[in-house]
Chain A
């Protein structure tokens, strides 16, 4: 059976078409205005950032040839033709890489412990007093907003050069970030168990331990693992300011133009980050899988 498409009478159609065109025109105008504003902002930014397209065009060749150079050994051969020569310092670099991972691990764990201690005060539904919540929240915000490397710069002066400054910087930044995420998990927790435990006359601490914690602990672990992964990246640059890890070696190699060393260290960093990504992803799957089963 053929179905006829019903067409409205001309007069009615004209009104509808008109309204449609107006709506589209309004949308287009808004879009064009937004785009124009954005372009103006870009132009101002380009002047502010001293962008010079001529420099880019002149030097873009340098960027490409830089990668050409870092993948070339001193004798002119490609790096992958001679792995022994390319990774000549692998023992030293591997040790530094291990230190980087350790910095990230210890920093994340200390940060997670502090975040754990503070997050119940920051969450809206479990905080014992509003003034306490306000203070803890501002504190976490501060720890999160100041970049980790700025803390590292200051700590290097206070605690001396070395990985300790890096660990503490990462720990503070992680406390801020994890504290907020942990508090958000707690805010999403079911409050009925809390009421149940509190109704038995339990103290605030017992309420948190027996009613909130069982609900949130898997989420905590997941966020902490994710943070560990982020922190490995962060720890790889802590050496730039003297706070330990592989960054120290990298910055020396870049500044002194040891080209093949730069690529070797970068390859090692990228490979490590890959492995950690995959490892924590697998671990998080396991943890959540276990939660789902019980």
Chain B
């Protein structure tokens, strides 16, 4: 049974004008956007000196490097690497904790339901935004200038860059909290501080705890790389071994990082679910 006779088609046309007669601007929008995207891509490839010969030569080289990485082998420096891994985990834990502790009071200042005045809140928010705009590695470079090479600079770098992120996330969590509890405390005669302590904190703390755990997890990743600029941890070993082309050690170190990250993922995932239940957190 063929329904699409000419009459039917006309009927369909009449009934769904926005499907059959889309304006030209709507029909052209997608191809035009694609064209612009591809145009910028081509410009980028030319400007960034991509060439098929370079790509081929590089891939050839990369193939050799991969072959030389097998099998992963730490040589005699396994204890050194384990110590570096411990250092990395310490950096992540300490940095995140320090950031969370310092960000909590500041996040109160950035939350709409605590500080009503736009004028007061705006500079705090912009301040947090600018801290977040600067990558952890850049902070590591700055702190190395201040406290010298070593893991301590890494802790401070992670603390500062997370401070920006936490300030924003915490203030969002506080803004999302239910105001009824706060009003209840106020109605029973509580002061502003009581409102925060007994009205807000019980709602907000589980969310915050979940976020902090998640950041410890993601900071394990960040902490593996800040060693590249000299701020301690396993990244230092990794960068050194790459520079001296000890590929077997490099692959072993990468393997160690992967396992450590997976382990921390697993632990913090379990802890997170224990604290806040099976609820997704962004």
Contacts and interface: CB of A to CB of B under 8 A. Distances in A.
Interface residues of A, number: 55
Interface string B94-111: 100100000000000000
Given A149-B228, A269-B134, A45 B90 contact: yes
Given A46-B90, A106-B41, 14 more contacts: A45-B89, A48-B87, A50-B232, A147-B222, A147-B224, A153-B238, A154-B65, A158-B61, A158-B62, A162-B48, A163-B49, A164-B49, A167-B48, A236-B135
Contacts of B76: none
Interface stretch (A81-89, A97-105, A199-207): A97-105
B221 A155 contact: no
Contacts of A59: 146-148
A270 B245 contact: no
A250 interface: yes
A167 B55 CA distance: 12
B54 A160 contact: yes
Contact of A237 (B40, B137, B221, B245): B137
Interface stretch (B149-157, B176-184, B189-197): B149-157
B35 interface: no
B94 A46 contact: yes
B229 interface: yes
B82 to A, nearest CB: 11
Nearest to A168: B58
A45 B92 CA distance: 9
B134 A154 contact: no
Given A146-B257, A274-B133, A266 B45 contact: no
Nearest to A234: B135
Contacts of B135: 233-234, 236-237
B11 interface: no
Contact of A51 (B143, B148, B152): B152
A153 B134 contact: no
B141 A52 contact: no
A250 B138 contact: yes
Q: Closest 9 CB pairs between A and B?
A: A159-B58, A48-B90, A45-B90, A273-B133, A49-B90, A270-B133, A106-B44, A158-B61, A163-B48
A49 B151 contact: yes
A13 to B, nearest CB: 21
Nearest to B250: A154
B200 interface: no
Contact of B89 (A48, A147, A154, A157): A48
Q: What is the interface residue range for chain B against chain A?
A: 35 or more
B8 interface: no
A102 B155 contact: no
Nearest to B126: A274
Interface of B is mostly: helix
A63 interface: yes
A47 B86 CA distance: 10
B221 A270 contact: no
A148 to B, nearest CB: 8
B48 A102 contact: yes
A44 B147 CA distance: 21
B118 interface: no
A57 to B, nearest CB: 11
Interface string A91-117: 000000001001101100100000000
Contact of A145 (B151, B155, B261): B261
A44 B90 contact: yes
A145 to B, nearest CB: 5
Contacts of B151: 48-51
B239 interface: yes
18 contacts: A41-B93, A42-B93, A45-B90, A49-B151, A49-B154, A62-B145, A145-B221, A145-B258, A145-B262, A146-B254, A153-B238, A153-B239, A154-B242, A158-B65, A162-B48, A167-B50, A233-B135, A269-B133
A213 interface: no
A99 B48 contact: yes
Nearest to A55: B147
Nearest to A167: B48
B70 to A, nearest CB: 15
B37 interface: yes
B204 interface: no
